[in-house]
Amino acid sequence: MNLKNGILVFSLFFSLLVMNLFPREIELQFHEVKEYYDPDFKKLHNAGFDKIIVRSFLSNGKYGGLLFENDSFRIAYPGFSNIIKKNRKRKFELWGWLITRNYNWFENNKLYDTGFIKGEKQRIRKLDLFDPKVRKLVIGVFKSMAELGVDGILIQDDLSIKSNEGFSNIGMKTFSDASGVPAKEKLMMDSGSPYNLKWIKIKKKIINEFLAEIVRECKFVNPAIKIGVNVFYEASIQKKNSNEWHSQDLAGIAGTGVDLIYLMMYHRQMKKELKLGSGKIKILFSEGIENAYKIAGDRLVLKLETYDWNKGEIIPLKEMVEFIDLIPSRIKRICFTPVKNAGERYLNGLRKAAEN
């Protein structure tokens, strides 16, 4: 064997060794109450799933609430707290999935945001992140969860301010103070205008500062805790739209100190919203992963949908595998969501495909 061939063989061997030393982490996120309060987490872990993410809130209007003890918001019932207690001695990671703005059952309307919808300002049932009182309340919730002893917290994708949101009195004043010009809703929503670009920058700043504060405060309570955040797929393939529609910017999010970035590459949703065929959506799927990895690196968690909400059906395993096979081996974390009556055989099929 000559030197060149020897180096090639060693390189291949080393690559295989590294892949085996650092296998993929396969995660499951549970959505429905009835499906997660008595699952056999140990059985799932023994089947090869490294992390379980569990809902910690209910959003059904006036009956909604949090599912763990806290001093800020209503407790629907302490189901999530019971899960933590039941699984105190665990070998797998157990995370909570938590909201930041969508407290649509909250009774204090003064803390809600204001939208500019169809040319009129109206109160929307989302908390106003421009309000310091809101941020203090929500930080208190995150700290309460960190004190429970969870391994991590996944932040819902409601940590965003959409293009027609943020027009509360405090939000308008924040714009005026930062820009030096009067706040005018129509100009602030005029895509690409100086007003609009300044407004987007302000909204991204408040979101990223708040995310950094969540990370900081949770780690103060529990230094070992990990914080992840859901990010819309547009952040990796349509940066302009991501900035304008959601106030989400991958580079800004990566700079907050967050531990993991969950990129929601939901292929059926993308296909429907972007009106693309199967071939083109696969190309865009791959491009989105590459773009995100350049920024997030090993903090990237690729999040795949297993349920079609529009058709009300579990996505066939064969279809899932087609997209799993597009994921480069350097992506070491994959999260499947939602776990919804899929069955053990289906979940094992996902796991085997993701591990290869």
- 260 or 91: which carries more pLDDT confidence? 260
- Ramachandran angles phi, psi of 302, nearest 5°: -90, 120
Residue 121 has pLDDT above 90, yes or no: yes
pLDDT tens column, 162-205? 999 999 999 999 999 999 999 999 999 999 999 999 999 999 99
* Structural domains present in the chain: 24-355 (3.20.20.80)
Residue 137 has pLDDT above 50, yes or no: yes
Q: 42: pLDDT confidence band, cut at 50, 70 and 90? A: confident
d(CA 238, CA 247): 12
List the one residue out of 268, 336, 267 whose CA is nearest residue 306: 336
pLDDT at 17: 39
- 16 or 79: which carries more pLDDT confidence? 79
The tokens for 96 are 């909570």
d(CA 33, CA 60): 12
Q: 344: pLDDT confidence band, cut at 50, 70 and 90? A: confident
- Ramachandran angles phi, psi of 93, nearest 5°: -85, 135
d(CA 35, CA 79): 12
d(CA 59, CA 62): 8
List the one residue out of 232, 241, 235, 246 whose CA is nearest residue 161: 246
pLDDT tens column, 269-306? 999 999 999 999 999 999 999 999 999 999 999 999 99
Q: 215: pLDDT confidence band, cut at 50, 70 and 90? A: very high
Residues 222-240 have a mean pLDDT of 97
d(CA 244, CA 202): 11
Q: 33: pLDDT confidence band, cut at 50, 70 and 90? A: low
Q: Residues 30, 36, 40, CA angle at the centre, nearest 5°?
A: 110
Contact 153, 66 (CB under 8 A): no
Consecutive H or E run containing 2: none
Residues 51-71 have a mean pLDDT of 89
d(CA 215, CA 252): 14
Which residues contact residue 111 at a Cβ distance below 8 angstroms, ignoring those fewer than 6 apart? Answer: 127, 128, 131, 133, 134, 137
Contact 96, 80 (CB under 8 A): yes
pLDDT at 10: 45
The tokens for 331 are 């992506």
pTM (predicted TM-score): 0.92
Helix axes 317-324, 278-296, angle to 10 degrees: 50
List the one residue out of 44, 42, 39 whose CA is nearest residue 55: 39
Residue 156 has pLDDT above 90, yes or no: yes
Q: 5: pLDDT confidence band, cut at 50, 70 and 90? A: low
